[in-house]
Structure formats: C-alpha cells, structure tokens
Structure 1
Amino acid sequence: MGATSLPALASSSSPSAVSPLDSQLLIAAHQGNLWEIATGQQAQSAATTDCVKRVGADFVRDHRALDTGVVKTAAKLGVALPSGQTAAQLRQTAALKSLAGTPAYDPAWLKAQYPAHVQTLALIDKEIATGTSPLVKSLAKSARPVVARHTRMVDQGVCHA
C-alpha cells in the first residue's frame, strides 16, 4: 500500500461497522497499490540499474497481493473503491516516465517511493490504533510489515550502496 495523496476523512456521525477512517484506509491503500504496481512495472523497464529493476519487481508482486486483500475487504464491507490512481499519482508517474532510461531515473524513483510508503505507514498505524472494522484493522496489521520493509528498501535501501 503506497499512497502519495490521501483522501480527506469524511465526517460521519452515524454508527456503522465501517468508520470514515476504515474507508479512507481502503481507498488510499487501493490507489496506492495501483500506483506502486504501475511504477514498479515502469521501473522494470525504465531503471538503469538491476537493483531498482529488482525492487520494482518486488513492489509489483507485493502490492498485487496487498491489493487483492484490499479489494476483497472493501467488497465485503460495501466500500466503493476508485477505479484508478489519484491525479497527483498520475502526474508523478508521468514525471518518472520522462526520466526513463537516464541516470536520473533510479534516484528519482527511489525518492518518490519513500514518502508514499511513509504516508501509508502513518495511515496503517492510525487504522490499527483507532479503526473500527476488525476486517480493516486485520488487513492493516498484515500489510504493515510489507510496507515497512519497502520503506527501508527505498530509504536506507538496497540500491543506495
């Protein structure tokens, strides 16, 4: 789950099994996963180093698996998911694409991944602490180690040697 721009929390005073935070997590996670898959696929062909290509492939594999859980959980809870990435994510993907095959691509890709994962970790932690849906909280708990590992990969990362 990687998110570069999170939707604002909707306000709701009616008690339900799915809180605004639960919905926000599902929506942001889905859009983040779509972005991670797209940029991971892009990295596999646009990166100039084998390391970034490998990390991109890992992200595609992991975020496809994470998104399967998000989509299933959202369907069970009746949360409508958007069909695509946010406008900001699409702009970021295009900006990365403009660097494809150049020495600037790899550091730009790694730099874009870091805040997306940090932001996702913050939302995951908030969901774990204060979310109301046991299904969404469980999803967040299972996603957290994957997102934390990805964050470490692009920050201290395997490609910064």
Structure 2
Amino acid sequence: MYATPSRARSAAVCAATLCAVGAMALPAVAAPSPSSAGVSPLDRQLLTAAHQGNLWEITTGQQARSGATTACVKRVGADLVRDHRTLDAGVTRTAARLGVTLPSGQTAAQLRQTAALKSLSGKAAYDAAWLKAQYPGHVQTLALIDKEIASGTNPTVKSLAKSARPVVARHIRMVDHGVCHA
C-alpha cells in the first residue's frame, strides 16, 4: 500500500479503536446449544463480527449511493452492498445451521460512525471520509478471517472465512489508494 506515515498511524488508531469497541460490544457467549457443539469462541466471534460488519457495510454502502459526490464512491458503495449482502447470507445461514445466535443489529460504535458519515452526506468531504471509514473495518475483518483460518475449529466456519478472504482483500484495495484515488 502507499500509505503515508500519518495515514498509516490514523488507520492503526482507528483499527485499534474499532477492535476494542467491537470486542466490548460482542454479546456474552452463552453455553453452547447441542447444535452448536464444536463451535469455538473464535468461530462465534467471527460469525458475530462478520454479521455486524456486513450490516454496517450494507448500510454505509447504501448511504454512499446517495451521499457521495463522485460516481466512483457511489460505484464502490454499490459493490460493497452487493458483496456484503452475499457474504452475510452465508454468515446467517452458517450461524443458523450451527445454532449460533447473531445480534440483530450493528454495534453502538458502528451506528455512531454511520451517523457521522451521514452528517457529511452530499458535501465534498463525504467521499474521503467514507473511504477512510471503510479501511480500518475491512483490515480488522481480514485479520479476524486470517485468525479463523489459522485457529478456528469448525470446518464450516473456516470454509466461510476462506471464501470471504479474497472479497475483503479486494475491498481493502478498493478503498485504500484504490479505484477512487487515481
């Protein structure tokens, strides 16, 4: 990536903040139901974080369609909506099959970030803010995916992570010095 030191530092701070807030926002893990036997805490964490991340990406992607000032950000937003709807369908199907209950909505931090972006809707600053907001969430998700692939215990969740990895990696390239930064 072609990150400046200040951009890299900002991204690291944002990612660390999202990780901390996201981890605190995760619901307590209840005792496993018989159908969720063989699902580790890491498997549950991936399913939960992926679902909430997908909900946020769909919401902010839809928001970009009307709030962005450039065709490029509108197009990337539409791509993210399409891809995260597909990813979330797999997450919700897998969670249901394994008896893992998913949260019904985004985290409080995600809702605040969505509101902050919405306040910029239609303004010149929106596009850069939207792209910047997308980066740390995708980086955090990719790190969790890699952790699941390496250490997860449920083969179905690991397979889901493996199939999501190239999509999330492509999104990172799109929003960090990608198609809209040319």
In the superposition, the TM-score normalised over structure 1's length comes to 0.93
Gaps of 5+ in 2: 1-14
Per the alignment, residue 126 of structure 1 pairs with 147
Deviation at 1:62, TM superposition (A): 0.2
Deviation at 1:156, TM superposition (A): 1.9
1:144 paired with 2:160, answer no
Identity %: 79
After superposition, the C-alpha distances for 1:94-133 in whole angstroms (9 at most, x for unaligned) are 0000000000000000000000000000000000000000
Deviation at 1:6, TM superposition (A): 3.0
- For residue 159 of structure 1, give the secondary structure of its aligned residue in structure 2: helix
1:41 paired with 2:57, answer no
In the superposition, the TM-score normalised over structure 2's length comes to 0.83
- The one-letter amino acid of 1:63's match is H
Alignment coverage as a number of residue pairs = 159
Contact residue 22 and residue 109 of structure 2 kept, 8 A:
no
Gaps of 5+ in 1: none
Residue number among 116, 122, 144 corresponding to 1:101 in the alignment: 122
Deviation at 1:157, TM superposition (A): 0.8
Structure with more of its chain in helix, by fraction: 2
Tell me how large the CA RMSD over aligned residues is. 2.1
- The one-letter amino acid of 1:126's match is K
Per the alignment, residue 88 of structure 1 pairs with 109
What is the rounded CA distance, in whole Å, between the counterparts of 1:24 and 1:7 in structure 2? 9
- The one-letter amino acid of 1:48's match is T
Per the alignment, residue 6 of structure 1 pairs with 22
What is the rounded CA distance, in whole Å, between the counterparts of 1:11 and 1:22 in structure 2? 11
- For residue 7 of structure 1, give the secondary structure of its aligned residue in structure 2: helix
